Structure 1
């Protein structure tokens, strides 16, 4: 899924590589979340965890 049709994003932990599919929020996503596999806290330095660690950016950054 890409572009405007994507409603989910696959987040991947940079530490252990664990992947989880999450529904994209209606606007900007959270700045941090925890990996359920290893406990690492994923902290976005840019917009949100979807833009930094996800297969699809958040809806707020779709047009950029």
Structure 2
């Protein structure tokens, strides 16, 4: 399986979308929307903002591993 390292994050508050590069060595717990400046955090049960708001889950989840090497 080929891993995908970019994901489009969609802000749940204003709908702004942006393609972002996902880190491969750590979780991204916070993300600030460029448009409305909302501070996004993972939803309950998700490990990072990509798993909650992205079109592609983080690399760890793609590999069926514990999230973010935990």
> What TM bracket, shorter-length normalisation?
0.7 to 0.9
The structural deviation recorded for 1:29 is 2.8
The answer to whether the 8 A contact 1:13-1:19 is kept is: yes
Gaps of 5+ in 2: 65-70
List alignment gaps of at least 5 residues for structure 1. none
Runs of 4+ residues deviating >2 angstroms: none
Q: TM-score, normalised by structure 2?
A: 0.77
TM-score of the two chains, using structure 1 as the length reference? 0.83
How large is the RMSD of aligned CA atoms in angstroms? Answer: 1.5
Task: Give the aligned length.
Answer: 62
- C-alpha distance after superposition, 1:7-50 (max 9, x if no partner): 21000000000001001111443111110100111110311000
Q: Who wins on radius of gyration, i.e. which is larger?
A: 2
Farther off after superposition, 22-31 or 44-53: 22-31
Tell me the secondary structure at the aligned position of residue 50 of structure 1: helix
